[in-house]
Amino acid sequence: MAILIDQTKRVLVQGITGREGMARAKLMTEYGTQVIAGVTPGRGGEHVEGVPVYDTVLEAWEQVGPINVSVLFIPAPLVRSAALEAIDAGVKLLVIVPDRVPIYDVLSIAARAKTTGARFIGPNTLGVLSPGKAVLGMMGGRAASAKSWFIPGPVGISSRSGGITSSMAYYLAREGIGATTLVHVGGDAVVGLPHPEVMLEFERDPETKAVVMFGEIGTSQEERVADLIEAGAFTKPLIAYIGGKAAKQGTRFSHAGAIVEGGRGTHEGKVERLRAVGATVVDSFMELPQATKDVLAKIS
């Protein structure tokens, strides 16, 4: 098992004729993802990497049948329209890759998604990857790299940073620890599927035995994960690292989410809160593999 994506899901690529869309359609297909259609307005009738292109999501749905997931490679100003199109067509999971999507556009997408029961990952996400099964987005860059870097196993991975998602999975794999699914929740302040939602997904997945999380200063995602643990809603062992210790209050780094606002979202606050509910929080990123090994040894 895996969460969110595996080889049985039928995937649409919006913006498939663009520079990124084309490259990532290739990555996804070569890795094992069922990419069944692409959409670019005005480019219907073409093919990209053997995948048929349609003018609208509805047309794609009519022609190729039900679509489980849509991955968006669309310039940020056009994301809102494309996402609403996919949601209205009935797609239940969106992966919004681009960054710099205006925040009120994200709120609009969130509101529409709520009314139809759809969910979205991102914006500003590298995507989701279930080792040995399928990938959504651009994680791994090349299929050959993704295949050699990530291995299947018992650990769920959730990260606020795209690059760190890959590096966590790679450094764990180097120690022989594989993953069920890697999720980059997205780097922005408002994301569709924040850490707590991902934890609930991993809770439901029987093959996930423990979760490794990369948190960051800013937002309340990590504190809400602690709330879930406290409430008994998330019961699997959690191993976490929180980045941004050096960030001064009020100094903002490239992730829009990494903003220290008031008392909420500080490095110390997150670490203390997670430790208080029994999570393993390491002080150095490179301690994650060993800490994960120790946790897995204890539960097996």
Tokens of 25: 């359609």
Which member of 103, 233, 276, 299 binds other proteins (CB under 8 A)? 103
Under a CB-based contact definition with an 8 Å cutoff, are residues 94 and 87 in contact?
yes
| Tally of CB atoms within 10 A around 4 | 24
Interactions with other proteins, residue window 187-216 (CB under 8 A)? 187, 189-190, 192, 194, 214, 216
| Beta carbon nearer to other proteins, 60 or 282 | 282
Q: Determine the Cα–Cα distance for residues 36 and 64; give it in Å rounded to an integer.
A: 7
Which member of 53, 211, 258, 274 binds other proteins (CB under 8 A)? 258
Q: Determine the Cα–Cα distance for residues 59 and 252; give it in Å rounded to an integer.
A: 43
Check binding of 102 to other proteins (CB under 8 A).
yes
CA trace torsion 240, 147, 162, 239 (10° rounding): 0
| Beta carbon nearer to other proteins, 15 or 140 | 140
Residues 6+ apart with CB under 8 A from 272: none
Q: What DSSP assignment string belongs to 179-209?
A: EEEEEE--SSSS-SS-HHHHHHHHHH-TT--
CB of 299 to other proteins, least distance (A): 27
Which member of 174, 230, 276, 278 binds other proteins (CB under 8 A)? 174
Check binding of 262 to other proteins (CB under 8 A).
yes
Q: What's the length of the chain? A: 300
Interactions with other proteins, residue window 44-83 (CB under 8 A)? 76-77
Interactions with other proteins, residue window 265-294 (CB under 8 A)? 284-286
Q: Which one of the spans 61-69, 198-206, 218-226, 272-280 is the region binding other proteins (CB under 8 A)?
A: 218-226
Catalytic residue check, 184: no
Which member of 1, 107, 233, 276 binds other proteins (CB under 8 A)? 107
Which member of 7, 56, 63, 251 binds other proteins (CB under 8 A)? 251
Under a CB-based contact definition with an 8 Å cutoff, are residues 2 and 207 in contact?
yes
Nearest partner of 101 among 121, 67, 76, judged by Cα = 76
Element (H, E) at 159: strand 152-159
Which member of 40, 158, 161, 266 binds other proteins (CB under 8 A)? 161
Check binding of 140 to other proteins (CB under 8 A).
yes
Q: Which one of the spans 3-11, 47-55, 66-74, 185-193 is the region binding other proteins (CB under 8 A)?
A: 185-193
Q: Determine the Cα–Cα distance for residues 15 and 28; give it in Å rounded to an integer.
A: 14
SS3 assignment, position 23: helix
Catalytic annotation, residues: 255
Site residues, other proteins (CB under 8 A): 20, 76-77, 99-104, 106-108, 110-112, 126, 138-142, 145, 149, 159-164, 166-167, 169-171, 174, 187, 189-190, 192, 194, 214, 216, 219-220, 224, 243-247, 250-259, 262, 284-286
